[in-house]
Amino acid sequence: MTGAVELSVDGAPATPGELACVALVNYGAYTSFRVEQGGVRGLDLHLARLEAEALELFGEPVGEERLRDLMGKAVAGRDACWLRVSLYSPDISPRTPDWQGAPRVMIALSPPPPPFADAPRLQLQTYAREAAHLKHVATFGLIRARRAARAAGFDDALFVDGGGRISEGSLWNIGFVSNDDVVWPQASMLTGVAQELVQRGLAKAGLSGRTEPVHVADLTRFDTAFLCNSATPACAIQSVGERAFTTPSGLIERLQGAWASNPIQPI
């Protein structure tokens, strides 16, 4: 996060005890997004993610109305900011893993961050996140992967499974483009909200999109690669391993336009 961070739990300022719980027990999930004009692009997707995470990890959803209420209180009339909405329970620990119920909601509010990347060079790494379909708080593997990539002279890491299928990046999804066709990898991974928003808007940008397995050997099929996450709707990738990509003029702007074609949904 960039700049000052305001933390609240269930609508009240976070206490030292609550912060200690989150710091010491690495069990939970979250979603994060940019607030624009008091609303969020893809808010429906973020809410659905939080409810699915709550049900799978804690046994009970929070409730969309409560999530909206807590987000609204955190934003408190701000026109633009960045929110991270996290789910956790002080009743769950390594010694007490059995508790079930609606999780507590921690919201971190900070200034909007800059774009995540600029023409990154990616190192292929054989790795898969645990419970990859969840945006969970276990980030050790992701940070370690990024550190290893940078130590090797790259900017970031792109994950590949044992069968050579490309999945996702450290903190983002990847898309490949040939002519006007976008291909999203099919593998064990998190389907990102930004990815879904870009996909929703592709037709308006004169592009098509589909999901299929993409192996490392398939990289020569594509002219362009790009990454996307909530802070960066689309960013050209310079290279994956030794495979360099070119980006036609205007393509990234079209992909960004696909994302921006989604309406801002009021909290």
- Each residue of 136-188: pLDDT tens digit? 999 999 999 999 999 999 999 999 999 999 999 999 999 999 999 999 999 99
For residues 99-118, give the mean pLDDT. Answer: 94
Q: How far apart are CA 199 and CA 255, in angstroms?
A: 9
According to CATH, what is the number of the domain 121-262?
Answer: 3.20.10.10
For residues 17-21, give the mean pLDDT. Answer: 95
Structure tokens at 217: 């050997």
Asked if 228 and 235 count as a contact pair (C-beta separation under 8 A), the reply is yes
**Which of these, 10, 29, 7, lies nearest to 19 by C-alpha position?**
7
For residues 121-130, give the mean pLDDT. Answer: 97
Q: What confidence score (pLDDT) does residue 115 get? A: 87
pTM of the model: 0.95
Given the structure tokens 């994950």, which residue do they identify? 159
For residues 18-47, give the mean pLDDT. Answer: 96
Q: What confidence score (pLDDT) does residue 116 get? A: 84
Q: What percent of the chain has pLDDT over 70?
A: 99
pLDDT of 239 above 80 = yes
Q: How far apart are CA 53 and CA 61, in angstroms?
A: 8
For residues 4-12, give the mean pLDDT. Answer: 96
Q: Average pLDDT, whole number, for the chain?
A: 96
Q: What confidence score (pLDDT) does residue 3 get? A: 64
**Which of these, 203, 225, 207, 265, lies nearest to 71 by C-alpha position?**
265
Q: Which fold has domain 6-110?
A: D-amino Acid Aminotransferase; Chain A, domain 1 (3.30.470)
Domain ranges of the chain: 6-110, 121-262
Torsion of the alpha carbons at 207, 236, 143 and 135, rounded to the nearest 10: -20
Least confident segment among 16-20, 107-111, 117-121:
117-121
Strands (E) located in 118-252: 121-126, 156-160, 166-169, 173-178, 181-185, 208-212, 224-229, 232-236, 239-240, 243-244
Q: What confidence score (pLDDT) does residue 2 get? A: 52
- Amino acid letter for position 43: L
Asked if 88 and 124 count as a contact pair (C-beta separation under 8 A), the reply is no
Question: Going edge to edge, which strands form the sheet with 80-88?
Answer: 12-13, 6-9, 104-110, 80-88, 29-36, 39-41, 264-266
Q: What confidence score (pLDDT) does residue 92 get? A: 97
Q: What confidence score (pLDDT) does residue 77 get? A: 83
Burial class (CB in 10 A: 0-12, 13-18, 19+), 244: exposed
pLDDT of 28 above 80 = yes
For residues 204-233, give the mean pLDDT. Answer: 97
- Each residue of 50-71: pLDDT tens digit? 999 999 999 999 999 999 999 9
Using CA atoms, how far residue 5 sits from 14, 263, 264, in Å, is: 11, 27, 24
Question: Helix (H, G, I), strand (E, B), or coil: what is residue 67?
Answer: helix
63-66 contacts, C-beta under 8 A, 24 or more apart: 63/102, 66/105
- Each residue of 142-151: pLDDT tens digit? 999 999 999 9
Q: What confidence score (pLDDT) does residue 1 get? A: 47
pLDDT of 7 above 50 = yes
Other C-beta atoms closer than 10 Å to the C-beta of 184 total 23
- Each residue of 242-261: pLDDT tens digit? 999 999 999 999 999 999 99
Other C-beta atoms closer than 10 Å to the C-beta of 59 total 14
Scored b (16 or more CB within 10 A) or e, 1-12 reads eeeeeebbbeee
